[in-house]
Structure 1
Amino acid sequence: MTLLRRVLLGIVLLAVIGYLGAVAYMYTMQRALQYDNGGVVTSLAETTLVGAEAVAIPSDGSVVNGWYKAPQPGKPLIVYYKGNSGSFSKEHERYEKWTQDGYGFLAFDYRGFPASPGSITQQNILDDATAAFDFAKAKGFPIVIWGRSLGSGPATYIASIRDADALLLETPFLSAVGVAAERYPYLPVYWVMRDQFPNNEWIRHVNEPVLIAHGTADKTIDVSNGKRLYDLAPNKDELWIVPDKGHSDLWAAGIWDHAATFFAKAEAAAGH
């Protein structure tokens, strides 16, 4: 073997070892890379919410902690599935606006996020989402579902197995594994990713009317995800694409006005 061949073989071997090392690192650390579960918990006393209460919902031998408020007569209860960053409690501005307009809400942290003990896995998130929905449903009010970003996964899953009056998805992914593949096209994410959240499969079994909202400047989950997911929804209502808005901009861009109109129409169709 010539010196050149040995050098080339050495380079190839180093590249293979480096690649396998990157795959091994991703496999081992994937949940730490996938979830952003740090942050502080805002207390109810720090908000302007009136009449809301802290709740602890049993979930598969554990508990998830959140806030609940019943709606005013003629309004539904929003079951809110939070996004990936921090605690649900930091979004209290949303809950304050909803309750001011007469809507009830249930919002909470999945296990492993700041307010709820435990570990984060896809199955735990789906179990927590189911426990939360069933808790809300038992209150006897009309239910609408709102899932944001990561929360689009449990929201779509729940809408596919439970009955609600509407499903709103804010900056959703087609699938979590698809987003990972877009970011890391050189890694075999479809083979090694544990928590894939296949919204593209779950949405096919959603009978509720669907509104999807996305911004064209979203750098976290590309707007094409929202468009493709909407195409798969059996009961389409609206695809609201907001020019030049990013992943966290839709609240300020007026998503609540669209949501309130959407929910009112869905409630009327449901006869509530």
Structure 2
Amino acid sequence: MKLFRRLLLALLVLIVAGYAGVVGYMYFNQRALQYSAQGEVFALSDTTLTAASEVLIATDGGAVNGWYAPPRPGMPVIVYYKGNSKSFTEESERYERFVADGYGFLAFDYRGFPASPGEISEANILSDALAAYDWLDAETDAPILIWGRSLGSGPASYVASQREATALLLETPFLSAVNVAAERYPILPVALVMQDQFRNDLWIEDVSEPVLVAHGTADRTIDVTNGERLYARAPNPDELWIVDGADHSDLWDAGIWDRAKPFFDRSLNR
């Protein structure tokens, strides 16, 4: 019996030590696990965006690199907050469509992503996001539309809670980053150790702009329930667009731009 107790105690010690080791590893490496900031930076000259220019925007303690194209007279401009992977320059197809339909745009890499040197953190991403919005607001008198995709739903929701834009579009958003982490690692105390939590669930409550949330039922990165619950918290909800069978990166091909334009028109005419 004593041997059994000793073996059981030793097993418990091993389990506790192993669990503590996993938690410690995730704590000290969490940003490397959370962000996917590698990718090629494509040249503006390789696109059809002849009216766009490269811009450098000063932020609190650094700077970010982006592209800006002014809108046609009487049209709005989109500030686009990119997702978690690669560089904003990889999404030139989107910007080309924006410009072809008369919209202006500002897109950029947060600090620590391929086109912008610096350290990745929630504080830096939110600072970069505000700086980009304020730069655009000073640059143009056109109505500003906020578009946040995936990780970009965090800075998009935050900026919309702090500034007066015309509309907020959230593509495959999370309720919060810590909620996604808790869903992915249910046995770990992520709420206690996660530094960059991106609390969209709190920020959305201070968003006065009309909100469109777009999500896919087959999203394997951020479950569709995140978008549904976030939309339910919006004070000024306009539309919840759920695409059956769409995964995390499918909404552009599924026609989100054709869904966005009527939403922007409704918001401009309010």
Question: Could you tell me the TM-score, scaled by structure 1's length?
Answer: 0.98
Secondary structure of the residue that 1:72 maps to in structure 2?
A: coil
The CA deviation at 1:219 is 0.4
Number of aligned residues: 269
CA distance in 1, matches of 2:175, 2:247: 17
Gapped regions of structure 2 (runs ≥ 5): none
**Structure 1, residues 19-61: CA drift from partner, whole Å, max 9, x if none?**
0000000000000000000001011011111210000000012
Give, as a single letter, the amino acid of the residue that structure 2 aligns with 1:203.
Answer: I
Structure-to-structure mapping, 1:13-92, within 5 angstroms:
13-92=13-92
CA distance in 1, matches of 2:73, 2:247: 35
Aligned to 1:150: 151
The CA deviation at 1:237 is 0.3
Secondary structure of the residue that 1:138 maps to in structure 2?
A: helix
The CA deviation at 1:5 is 1.0
Give, as a single letter, the amino acid of the residue that structure 2 aligns with 1:102.
Answer: G
Structure-to-structure mapping, 1:153-232, within 5 angstroms:
153-232=154-233
CA distance in 1, matches of 2:89, 2:261: 21
CA distance in 2, matches of 1:95, 1:245: 22
Is 1:243 aligned to 2:251, yes or no? no
Secondary structure of the residue that 2:182 maps to in structure 1?
A: helix
Aligned to 2:142: 141
Give, as a single letter, the amino acid of the residue that structure 2 aligns with 1:266.
Answer: S
The CA deviation at 1:122 is 0.3
Aligned to 1:10: 10
Note the aligned Cα RMSD (angstroms): 0.7
CA distance in 1, matches of 2:69, 2:266: 22
Give, as a single letter, the amino acid of the residue that structure 2 aligns with 1:206.
Answer: V
Secondary structure of the residue that 2:238 maps to in structure 1?
A: strand
Identity of aligned residues (%): 65
CA distance in 2, matches of 1:20, 1:75: 55
Are 2:74 and 2:142, in contact at CA under 8 Å, matched by a contact in 1?
no
Give, as a single letter, the amino acid of the residue that structure 2 aligns with 1:187.
Answer: L
The CA deviation at 1:264 is 1.2
The CA deviation at 1:4 is 1.1
Gapped regions of structure 1 (runs ≥ 5): none
Are 2:171 and 2:215, in contact at CA under 8 Å, matched by a contact in 1?
yes
Give, as a single letter, the amino acid of the residue that structure 2 aligns with 1:127.
Answer: S
CA distance in 2, matches of 1:214, 1:61: 34
CA distance in 2, matches of 1:108, 1:226: 24
The CA deviation at 1:267 is 1.1
CA distance in 1, matches of 2:213, 2:137: 23
**Structure 1, residues 207-256: CA drift from partner, whole Å, max 9, x if none?**
00000000000000000000000000000100000000000000000000
CA distance in 2, matches of 1:102, 1:141: 12
The CA deviation at 1:146 is 0.1
